[in-house]
Structure 1
Amino acid sequence: MTEDLLNLDHVTRSYSSGGLFARTSFRAVDDVSFGLDASRPEIFAIIGESGSGKTTLARMILNMASASAGTIRFRGKALATIRGRRARLDFMRQVQPIFQNPYEAFNPLKRVDRYLYATAHHLARVSSDRMDSACDQALRQVGLSLAEIRGRFPHELSGGQLQRTAIARALISRPALLVADEPVSMVDASLRMSIVYLFKTLRDEFGMSIVYITHDLATAYYISDRIIIMQKGRVVEAGNARTVLDAPQHPYSKLLKSAVLSADSAGAEETTGPGQGREVMSR
């Protein structure tokens, strides 16, 4: 019998606005269900355009927002029942976020290594004599070292370096699950695929599962094992990543794919000439 690492059961998140006599409500997330098997690390992509509900869903998985209906469980425990400092720290130790903009993840007035040390101390419970070693090990997993970032402020690092540092910070507690919300959208194109490849390495070599939230079908096609495609809060298509993205069935999925292929073909024609564009995904 398999155990779910993460399980979402008919999860809905509703919001209301307006006054007492003219209130309106909408569902940012509407009846979403899926699960990740604890025994099989995988990269699970949540795909959708702005307003599709994918970031709201990520916030609920991270226990930063509660579900209006349905249940989210991590290792069988409902997130709604996680209360108290110790329980929250234990959850944070096992489930770590990676956000879209690395410059918003670090205070510009604080040196970035302070954040790594704080995570090592409070979440990973690393002893003071092993602090440098633990931080350096996490940084080396993302292609950096403690010597490169020690004493430096966020503005002294490139966007790619800072995002890698944010990922390293998330790795210090050795989580079972990473929730990465558009983690490469603010990174230069030259570094994008190296970070995407890093996620595959974390899955394969360190046994981490990753919920990868994106609007980018090309990286999702390359990185993901399974996907869901969301539109206006609802899942419109789900399944094996290659199967769904090679032959999408829902009109919205087909629209997303055609937009990617059109943009890629147009970009390729600018550099290689008409008729020589290379498609990101097979038809």
Structure 2
Amino acid sequence: MLRLTGVSKTYRTGAFGRGTTDAVRDVSFEVRPGEVTSLIGESGSGKSTIGRMVLRLTRPTSGTVTFEGTDVARLSGAGLKEYYRHVQGVFQDPFSTYNPIFRADRVFAMIRQSYFPRVRDDEWRERVAEAVASVNLNPDLVLGKYPHQLSGGQLQRLLVARALLLDLRLLVADEIISMLDASTRIDVLNLLADLKERGLAVLFVTHDLSLGNYLSDQTVILRHGAVVERGATEKVFGDPRHPYTRTLLASVPRLGTRWEDLPVPSSGIHECATPLDEVEEGHFVACFDTDGVHHGRKSESV
């Protein structure tokens, strides 16, 4: 459904734009219908930049992002509007999405104006109520409320309900639970899993490995804007081949273990420890030199 091929994004920096910063470097992966693909990496690894390029909020410097064979960067006008009928995003801070002087369900009215201007009032109210109920919210308790009267989890689920009013096929979920309390996170995660069961594709952007493992079918590990490892989630988490992936997994806090009992982590990850002939089919491993320059390698069958 979604394919990124050699995607890079370079920003101009410094006085008069004389410098450059590579936010994303030569990233390639696919998202299939009915699957959750997790983009995992530390802050600054390029996760959100990739999500923004998928949503056409920014354009790649090189490479292509295609949705069902169509280059997203080339869309404009009616074609771009149709693209947003199928592809929507939900972002990290739910409160920043809503205007505090308007009721929260104004986000539904904006969808109606753009895509369903001829739908009767009673029919539209019924559609909105069904969409809200489908994300495990009571329409009578949340509709008509202002953003400050609702929790972060409720606001996030309202944004998902807004997307479901369209012919949604791909949801970009960019750190959508990082600002939610622990009791609410599982509800939103289970909602994403339910969307997957309905056949929707989800690009799940997160820095939390445990969340990616809980939810995703495919995992892409990013470091310094480049893919260091990708493959089926059970392979990446069960048998990580890249030292950076191993370091990430080793840093996940575990119940019963205190920080002072953990070994001191080694500084720097500058080698690719896996010989090419040991890389399984469908498993990608990348290498970095001491300056952080990316050298991709993969099995011949990939």
Structure 2 unaligned residues grouped into runs of 5+:
262-302
Residue in structure 2 matched with residue 280 of structure 1 by the alignment: none
In the alignment, does 2:4 pair up with 1:8? yes
Moved more, 214-223 or 125-134: 125-134
Residue in structure 2 matched with residue 279 of structure 1 by the alignment: none
Moved over 6 A (4+): none
Cα shift at 1:159: 1.4
Residue in structure 2 matched with residue 32 of structure 1 by the alignment: 27
Cα shift at 1:126: 6.5
Cα shift at 1:257: 0.7
Cα shift at 1:170: 1.7
Residue in structure 1 matched with residue 115 of structure 2 by the alignment: 123
Per the normalisation by structure 2, the TM-score is 0.81
Counterparts in 2 of 1:178 and 1:125: CA distance versus 1, 3 Å:
farther
Whichever structure has more helix as a proportion of its residues is: 1
In the alignment, does 2:154 pair up with 1:154? no
- Structure 1 CA distance for aligned equivalents of residues 157 and 49 of structure 2: 24
**SS of the residue 2:22 aligns to:** strand
- Structure 1 CA distance for aligned equivalents of residues 73 and 152 of structure 2: 35
Cα shift at 1:125: 5.5
Cα shift at 1:123: 3.1
Residue in structure 1 matched with residue 92 of structure 2 by the alignment: 100
Cα shift at 1:95: 0.2
Moved more, 220-229 or 161-170: 161-170
Residue in structure 2 matched with residue 217 of structure 1 by the alignment: 209
Query: How high is the sequence identity, in percent, across the aligned residues?
Result: 37
User: Pick from 260, 264, 270: which aligns with 2:254?
Assistant: 264
- Structure 2 CA distance for aligned equivalents of residues 145 and 93 of structure 1: 25
User: Pick from 55, 68, 79: which aligns with 2:61?
Assistant: 68
User: Pick from 237, 250, 260: which aligns with 1:245?
Assistant: 237
Cα shift at 1:124: 5.1
Counterparts in 2 of 1:245 and 1:126: CA distance versus 1, 3 Å:
farther
Cα shift at 1:146: 2.3
After superposition, the CA RMSD in angstroms is: 1.7
Structure 1 unaligned residues grouped into runs of 5+:
275-283
Moved more, 91-100 or 138-147: 138-147
**SS of the residue 1:242 aligns to:** helix
Cα shift at 1:36: 2.4
**SS of the residue 2:172 aligns to:** strand
Per the normalisation by structure 1, the TM-score is 0.87
In the alignment, does 2:100 pair up with 1:91? no
